[in-house]
Amino acid sequence: MKVTVVVPTLNEEKGISKVVSDFRRLGFEVLVVDGNSRDRTREIAEKSGAKVILQSGKGKGNAISDAFRILDSDAIVLVDGDGSYPAEEVHKLLEPLEKGIADHVVGNRFSNYEKGAFTRLNFFGNKILNLFFRFAYGVDLHDILSGYRAIRREVYKSIEIEKSGFEVEVELTVETLAKGFRIVEVPISYRRREGETKLRPLRDGFRIGRAIYGMLRRYSPARYIYLLGALFVFLGLITGSYVVYAWFKGITHILLAILTTMFILMGVQFFVFGLITHLLFRTAMELKREINELRRKI
């Protein structure tokens, strides 16, 4: 299996040399996709044995999208240029691909991370976004934002990346699922990064959350609608409890009671729409799976 290691970089002169030389030593071809770093990243990467290109547009998403377009290896390994993911553990990511039991493997950072590798905000942000992801998608993944992944050609060639920034990890995960490919997580270790992070936790965390919900439409339109329904029922339960509480105290809130009824009815309606969507979508999804299965067999 021919594997190319892809490293998106933006001002990673402190970490890039070790990342590239470690993977080179293990015998991999390394492609650094640089986002116009203003430090010596490109020079150092080249000296350490990587092929270096400049990305088109801006953001990590665009850099990865370029790599997917240019490359044609059997598999791509994505890794940060900051030294936070150990090269020696790459076989853990490649093994499920080689065995043919997965099409996309994600390195889960949460079982073995160095102290300080996550900032506190980063850690809780990750936990919350993963929790939200599991709730919304009903798929048991625990580190969807990991930057260490291995992806088979069939998958990366079929993914159309639309997100330009840090939402790209969500997009890779959701596209894989939506296309009916198999994604698995394996535990890897995670170290403190070299240099400064490029992620702005609040802004990017918010964008990632929005992307998780927005892309649910592509994976399961039914769940997208159910979630809306759940939101309305939830609102109705809050206003409704208040109405009942006040009623016991002898105060009647007529307007709020009407609003409550509307919330609940809207919610129930969304559930019915969701059910119809579910029936339509399931058939389409089953066909897609069958086709993928057949393709693999041919």
Ligand X SMILES: Nc1nc2c(ncn2[C@@H]2O[C@H](COP(=O)(O)OP(=O)(O)O)[C@@H](O)[C@H]2O)c(=O)[nH]1
Contact positions with ligand X (CB under 6 A) in 181-220: 193, 197-199
Does position 8 bind ligand X by CB under 6 A?
yes
Q: How far is the CB of 16 from ligand X (least distance, A)?
A: 8
80 lines the binding site for Mg ion (CB under 5 A):
yes
Closer to ligand X at the Cβ: 82 or 222?
82
Selected binder of ligand X within 14, 17, 42, 60 (CB under 6 A): 60
The binder of Mg ion chosen from 82, 167, 169, 175 (CB under 5 A): 82
Q: Which is nearer to ligand X, 66 or 175 (CB)?
A: 66
Give the range of 21-29, 31-39, 209-217, 275-283 binding ligand X by CB under 6 A. 31-39
| Residue 171 sits in the site that holds Mg ion (CB under 5 A) | no
Contact flag: residue 35 with ligand X (CB under 6 A): yes
Q: How far apart are CA 229 and CA 27, in angstroms?
A: 52
Residue by residue, what is the 3-state secondary structure of the chain? CCEEEEEEECCCCCCHHHHHHHHHHCCCEEEEEECCCCCCHHHHHHHCCCEEEECCCCHHHHHHHHHHHHCCCCEEEECCCCCCCCHHHHHHHHHHHHCCCCCEEEEEEEEEECCCCCCHHHHHHHHHHHHHHHHHHCCCCCCCCCCCEEEEHHHHHHCCCCCCCCCHHHHHHHHHHHCCCCEEEEEEEECCCCCCCCCCHHHHHHHHHHHHHHHHHHHCHHHHHHHHHHHHHHHHHHHHHHHHHHHHCCCCCHHHHHHHHHHHHHHHHHHHHHHHHHHHHHHHHHHHHHHHHHHHHC
Minimum CB–partner distance for residue 35 and ligand X (Å):
3
Residue 199 or 227: which CB sits closer to ligand X? Answer: 199
Binding residues among 101-160 for ligand X as defined by CB under 6 A: 147
Q: Which is nearer to ligand X, 103 or 194 (CB)?
A: 194
- Pick from ligand X, Mg ion, none: which does 10 bind, CB < 5 to 8 A by kind? ligand X
Under rule CB under 5 A, residue 84 binds Mg ion: yes
Give the footprint of ligand X on this chain (CB under 6 A). Answer: 8-10, 12, 33-35, 55, 58-60, 63, 80-82, 147, 193, 197-199
Give the footprint of Mg ion on this chain (CB under 5 A). Answer: 80, 82, 84, 193
